[in-house]
Structure 1
Amino acid sequence: MKKKRKYSVLLLSICSALLYGQESISVANKGILSVVSDEIVSFQGTFENREEGDVTNDGTVFYFRDFINEGAYGITTNKTTSTTVFTVGERNKRKKQIAGNGVSSFYNIVFDSPVSQVAFDLKNNIDASGVVEFKDGIVQVDSTFNPTTSLSKGMFTFNKDATALYANDASHVDGFVEKVGKESFTYPLGHDGKYRPARISGSKNKRDIYLSRYVYNDQAFFEGRSHAVGVINKINTSEYWIINNAASNKSDVLVTLSWDDETTSPNVLTNPEEELHIIRWDEEAQLWVDEGGVVDMSTKEVTTIGTVKGYGIFTFGTVKKDWILDGDIVIYNLVTPDGDGKNDYFIIDHIKNYPNNKVEIYNRWGVRVYETTGYDPEGDGSSNVFKGYSEGKRVANQGNKLANGTYYYVITYEYTDANGSRTIKKAANLHLESN
């Protein structure tokens, strides 16, 4: 087998020619490589930009094999003439690596490879401006830690005003995608060959950063995350989206997710127009909480009612429609009175707004173990709340510490709105742990 020849490019300025490298040739750049506007360059073999290399692409460059950047790679400031095409030739239809420790900045990217499953293995931090076209081929992001850069090995960042086009089941990003800027954005996400985008509304600051990823069929994740606030009925346990914001962000966003008959749990799709909401895993409370839902049946999309109250893991859930009232109480059905400041008592948000209330808790045999009126009058858990002990005038084993397990609560309160005053009663399971 003939050994591949390797060229060290010391200084190369391309002014007028269309260059085609031989298929067997790999190119290693150690100097300055410039591609000017209106020029086209094709690298048929592996391209490596060494640590001392400096590449500026203001024209069009095709990469047919692996792309490795250890140095400086970018475009001329304010130039919008650049396009980079990651593709394959007829004889090398295999997964390509986009790798290296140097950050690679592009203006306009095209991914076009008919390789099934993963076509591009991203082990490089790339910054994209302009338009990113997903014609063919899945981009898989390697999120493992890179000790050399103290970043993840791979990251796909969309800069201010950058957009993603044509993403589909055969071409999308499998892994984390970062968006910088205040524009609304649709993340070109997918997993396991399923394209499942997420969209955020515009924010207020051009430096805001939001990170997202889609995960399909991760049953282990949901096994330890079954608790939910009382209004939530059923949970989509087939998929979830991660949406995180940077600590420096100055504003919050609306989140839009779409359901799919193939990937979304069918138990939450029996009546999506009336019942489907976006729910979020509250890591501190260790509960699924309701972020609301405005449903568009024509696009199969759900948007949070307002800007989200937190970030992390999002999915779909159905809600008990008769529980949804304006300014209503929010019930957290997990109590872990271990003194860590999280769910140390039975939290019922907004209950202080309805002082004419009664809270009862029963064990699995129907024996009342807790009863009070005027629950949590200060709204901060400082007084008259359930902390895992049997309390009340007509309860069994007054003052005893209760065993861990599943209990049953009944909350009765007087609710008043424009339609007048009425008595509301809500009942569901309550889980007592770490007592």
Structure 2
Amino acid sequence: MKKILFSIFYVALTWCNAQTAMYNSGSLQIHSQGQIGFHTDFINDTTFDQNEGLAGFYGNNLLQVQGSIAPTFWDLEFMVPNNVFLQNTVNVRNNTNFVDGNVLTPTNDQTIYLNFLQNGFFNGDSDASKVTGFAAINDRGFFSFPVGDQTQLRPLLLDSEGSTPLAICAYFFENPSSPSSISESFNVNEKVRDIGTVSDREFWIVQSEIPATVTISWNSRSAIGAIPNATLESVIVVGWSKAANQWVVIGNTAQSGDLTNGFITSQAFIPNDFSAITFGTIPLPTDTFAVNNPTLGNYFISPNGDGTNDFLVFDNLSESPNNSVLIFNRFGQKVFEQLDYVDEFNGASNTGNFYLSQDIGLSEGIYYYLVTLNDLELEYQGFIFLDR
């Protein structure tokens, strides 16, 4: 008890004049049986790394940790329902106990994190208490990061091929194409051909210089089942390549579950080569589409407003939304072109000299179409008979 009282008494002497935060600029130390509770903001501007015992953050108001030097604790406890916001890195040498409330860090600053040193570990992580922002590890190769967003724990398991001097991780329940928490964006439509769809629901940032595999999971909120033609076997790990500036396949070594809940383990990769990782799917198999659709056929349209054959409709074209349609007359002149075609052609031209007479439409007769399915690397051609 004497050691506890000594710690509290010393803290009182180092309280800043405004008394809105505890300010440490001296030689404060927590002894092996010591305990200290922070019920206000903590500002650390001096070396504070020889601590033992327990330090805890408590209370109902948002607490902040600030200062120019990162404090290092032995055991640490968080019980602040309205969260603890780290504006300075906090190191933990032994146990971190998550009781209530999240530990927040600036999401646009990867140099501030809750840092688990070589033997650091944690207990009690849950949807209600975890790191919302960046967590880090030092000098170790295997770790499950207790990260998530404000409402859900979404951990990432890192299994490195050796001890990594520093690895950091954060989770974002945001569209990678337009995230609100970070300045960088990762367009889900910028991807290699080996990827069919990139998740627009969530992503992780993980950084390390050592090759590693990661294991990430999905739940109902991830909406994997909403991806067109998704199956468990089609789910893959993808990453935003810093070199290629697009999503590429990282690949997987194991997966389990169903489209509502499951997990996947990646192949080994160097995390520092990627800005973000998430779930993707493989493209639709082109051989299946080609077998089911050896041709798209020849078509008859009569755009007279009677509701029958008024538009040119290609069945199953929705399986390749990244498509193009070109239509030519019998002289080889292009009369219509459309990217991402969805039943637009009604006998009117939208290109070239024929566009000027769009109001009266093209003359009846035989036309030639060329359909390119970029997603499936297929091309079709055929004839259209236009009747007025």
Which interval holds the TM-score relative to the shorter structure? Answer: 0.5 to 0.7
The question of 1:303 aligning with 2:278 is answered no
Residue in 2 that maps onto 1:29: 14
- What's the offset of the Cα at 1:84? 1.5
Residue in 2 that maps onto 1:7: none
**Any conservation in 2 of the 1:101–1:125 contact (CA below 8 Å)?**
no
Match for residue 126 of structure 1 among 80, 90, 110: 90
- What's the offset of the Cα at 1:54? 4.2
Counterpart AA for 2:42: F
**Any conservation in 1 of the 2:7–2:30 contact (CA below 8 Å)?**
no
Aligned residues: 288
Between the aligned partners of 2:264 and 2:285, the Cα distance in structure 1 is: 20
**Any conservation in 2 of the 1:28–1:47 contact (CA below 8 Å)?**
no
Counterpart AA for 1:165: N
Between the aligned partners of 1:272 and 1:159, the Cα distance in structure 2 is: 39
**Any conservation in 2 of the 1:75–1:82 contact (CA below 8 Å)?**
no
SS of residue in 2 equivalent to 1:27: helix
- What's the offset of the Cα at 1:203? 3.1
Change (3 A) 1:242 1:107: same
TM-score (norm 2): 0.64
Match for residue 312 of structure 1 among 275, 278, 282: 275
- What's the offset of the Cα at 1:364? 4.5
Root mean square deviation, CA, Å: 3.6
Q: How does 1:92-111 map to 2 (within 5 A)?
A: 93-111=60-78
Residue in 1 that maps onto 2:189: 226
Between the aligned partners of 2:241 and 2:327, the Cα distance in structure 1 is: 30
Structure number with higher strand proportion: 1
Counterpart AA for 1:85: G
Change (3 A) 1:409 1:112: closer
SS of residue in 1 equivalent to 2:161: coil
SS of residue in 2 equivalent to 1:232: coil
- What's the offset of the Cα at 1:140? 0.9
Counterpart AA for 1:189: V
Between the aligned partners of 2:228 and 2:215, the Cα distance in structure 1 is: 17
Between the aligned partners of 1:305 and 1:144, the Cα distance in structure 2 is: 28
Match for residue 58 of structure 2 among 73, 84, 87: 87
Residue in 2 that maps onto 1:328: none
Q: How does 1:23-422 map to 2 (within 5 A)?
A: 27-29=12-14, 46-50=21-25, 52-58=26-32, 59-75=34-50, 82-88=53-59, 93-115=60-82, 119-142=83-106, 152=111, 154-205=112-163, 207-218=164-175, 220-221=178-179, 224-245=187-208, 249=209, 251-264=210-223, 266-268=225-227, 271-293=230-252, 294-297=254-257, 300-307=262-269, 310-320=273-283, 322=285, 364-365=325-326
Between the aligned partners of 1:85 and 1:130, the Cα distance in structure 2 is: 13
Counterpart AA for 1:66: D
Counterpart AA for 1:100: G
Between the aligned partners of 2:30 and 2:327, the Cα distance in structure 1 is: 74
Change (3 A) 1:164 1:21: closer
Structure number with higher helix proportion: 2
Q: 5+ unaligned residues in a row in structure 1: which ranges?
A: 1-13, 31-43, 146-150, 325-361, 368-405, 411-425, 430-435
Between the aligned partners of 1:166 and 1:266, the Cα distance in structure 2 is: 30
**Any conservation in 1 of the 2:213–2:269 contact (CA below 8 Å)?**
yes
Between the aligned partners of 1:290 and 1:408, the Cα distance in structure 2 is: 21
Change (3 A) 1:168 1:270: farther
Change (3 A) 1:272 1:49: farther
Between the aligned partners of 2:118 and 2:286, the Cα distance in structure 1 is: 41
The question of 1:427 aligning with 2:385 is answered no
C-alpha offsets along residues 142-173 of structure 1, whole Å, 9 cap, x if unaligned?
3566xxxxx95x32211113223222221111
Q: Single out whichever of 256-265 and 121-130 deviates more from structure 2.
A: 256-265
C-alpha offsets along residues 321-378 of structure 1, whole Å, 9 cap, x if unaligned?
7489xxxxxxxxxxxxxxxxxxxxxxxxxxxxxxxxxxxxx975289xxxxxxxxxxx
Residue in 1 that maps onto 2:382: none
SS of residue in 1 equivalent to 2:103: strand
SS of residue in 1 equivalent to 2:212: coil
SS of residue in 2 equivalent to 1:302: strand
TM-score (norm 1): 0.58
Counterpart AA for 2:14: N
**Any conservation in 1 of the 2:76–2:97 contact (CA below 8 Å)?**
yes
Between the aligned partners of 2:28 and 2:286, the Cα distance in structure 1 is: 61
Between the aligned partners of 1:283 and 1:48, the Cα distance in structure 2 is: 41
Q: 5+ unaligned residues in a row in structure 2: which ranges?
A: 180-184, 288-322, 329-370, 380-388
Between the aligned partners of 1:86 and 1:428, the Cα distance in structure 2 is: 61
- What's the offset of the Cα at 1:200? 0.5
**Any conservation in 2 of the 1:54–1:71 contact (CA below 8 Å)?**
no
Change (3 A) 1:113 1:229: same
Query: How many percent of aligned residue pairs carry the same amino acid?
Result: 18
SS of residue in 2 equivalent to 1:191: coil
Between the aligned partners of 1:286 and 1:407, the Cα distance in structure 2 is: 26
Which of the two has higher C-alpha Rg? 2
